[in-house]
Every structure is written in structure tokens, then in C-alpha cells.
Amino acid sequence: MAYSDKIVDHFQHPRNVGSMDANLNNVGTGIVGAPECGDVMKLQIKVDDEDRIVDAKFKTFGCGSAIASSSLATEWVKGRTLDEALELKNTDIVTELALPPVKIHCSVLAEDAVRAAIADVKKKKEQAAPAVAS
């Protein structure tokens, strides 16, 4: 099975590799997968006060398709609001990267990582919000 040109491009020149300080209140971190399953994705997003994603980073342990899926996901979420980013579908990744059926789980994992990062930052924001006086 040959890899699509887009997978190869993301593999050789991954976008947004790196890490952000997970302790920051405006940084959301999603870590999904497990080493024994052969893939782990860490995807992080940084949001501004309007809940718009101003930066995204990833690190992935996994096959080329998993790396490409997470790299693409970071590109796509940048500039979106959290709610817009939730609309990201794994099937869009499948189409864009021309993933074969056996690699669809890689795109699912990337979607899960985005959702986990969004959930994380939302939770932080809620906790940081001043308690409503009763």
C-alpha cells in the first residue's frame, strides 16, 4: 500500500509539532490512544478571550497516517472558535489525506484528540470563572 502525497508531506514536514504548558488556563490538552495499541496523540490548543483557537500543537506516536492526521487537525483548528472546532469530522480528514479503510481509526483518534483538548480548556475556563454570587 502506497501512501498518498499528502500523508507523505505531513509526515516529512509535520505542522505544529511541539508542546505548550499544560498548566496554563487558556491551554487545553487532549491525550488519546495507548502505547500498546500502537498510537498515542497529544494535541494542545491555546485560546484567546473570545474562545478562538490562536495556536495548536501536537505530538504523536503512531504510524505515518496517525502523524499526518494529527498534523492536519492542528492546521484546521487554528483560527476557529471552540464551537467551530467541534464541527471537525474525522471523515474530513479521511478525505483530505485519502486514508485507506485500515487507517480510518487514525482520523478518529485525531478527532478524539481535538475534542479532548476542547473539553479540557472549557473545563478550565469554567473553574476559573468567578463564582456567581447567590
Partner 1 sequence: MRSVYLDNNATTPVDPRVLEAMLPYFRENFGNAASRNHRFGWIAEEAVDKAREQVARVINANSKEIIWTSGSTEGNNTAILGVARMYADKGKHIITCKIEHKAVIDPCKFLESEGYEVTWLDPDDKGRVTVDQVREAMRDDTILVSLMFANNEIGTIHPIAEIGALCKERDVIFHTDATQAFGKVPIDVEAMGIDLLSMSAHKIYGPKGVGALYVRRKKPRVRLQPIIHGGGHERGMRSGTLNVPGIVGCGAAAETAMKEMPTENVRIGGLRDRLWAGLSEHLTDIHRNGDPQHCLPNTLNVSFLYVEGESLMMGFGDIAVSSGSACTSASLEPSYVLKGLGMGDDIAHSSIRFSLGRFTTKEDIDYTIEQAVKTVNHLREMSPLYEMAQQGIDLSKVEWQRH
Residues making contact with partner 1 (CB under 8 A): 1, 3, 8, 11, 14, 17, 19, 31-42, 58-64, 66-67, 102-103, 105, 108-109, 112, 116
Secondary structure (DSSP) of 81-99:
BHHHHTT--HHHHHHHHT-
* Residues carrying an active site annotation: 37, 106
With a CB cutoff of 8 Å and minimum separation 6, the contacts of 70 are: 41, 43, 58, 60, 109, 110, 113
Complex with partner 1: residue 48 or 123, whichever CB lies closer: 123
The distance of closest approach from Cβ of residue 49 to partner 1 in the complex, given in angstroms and rounded to an integer, is 28
| Beta strand spans in the chain (E) | 27-34, 39-47, 53-61
The distance of closest approach from Cβ of residue 102 to partner 1 in the complex, given in angstroms and rounded to an integer, is 5
The distance of closest approach from Cβ of residue 60 to partner 1 in the complex, given in angstroms and rounded to an integer, is 6
Nearest to 85 by CA among 108, 51, 60: 51
CA distance 63 to 47: 29
Complex with partner 1: residue 39 or 96, whichever CB lies closer: 39
Complex with partner 1: residue 48 or 102, whichever CB lies closer: 102
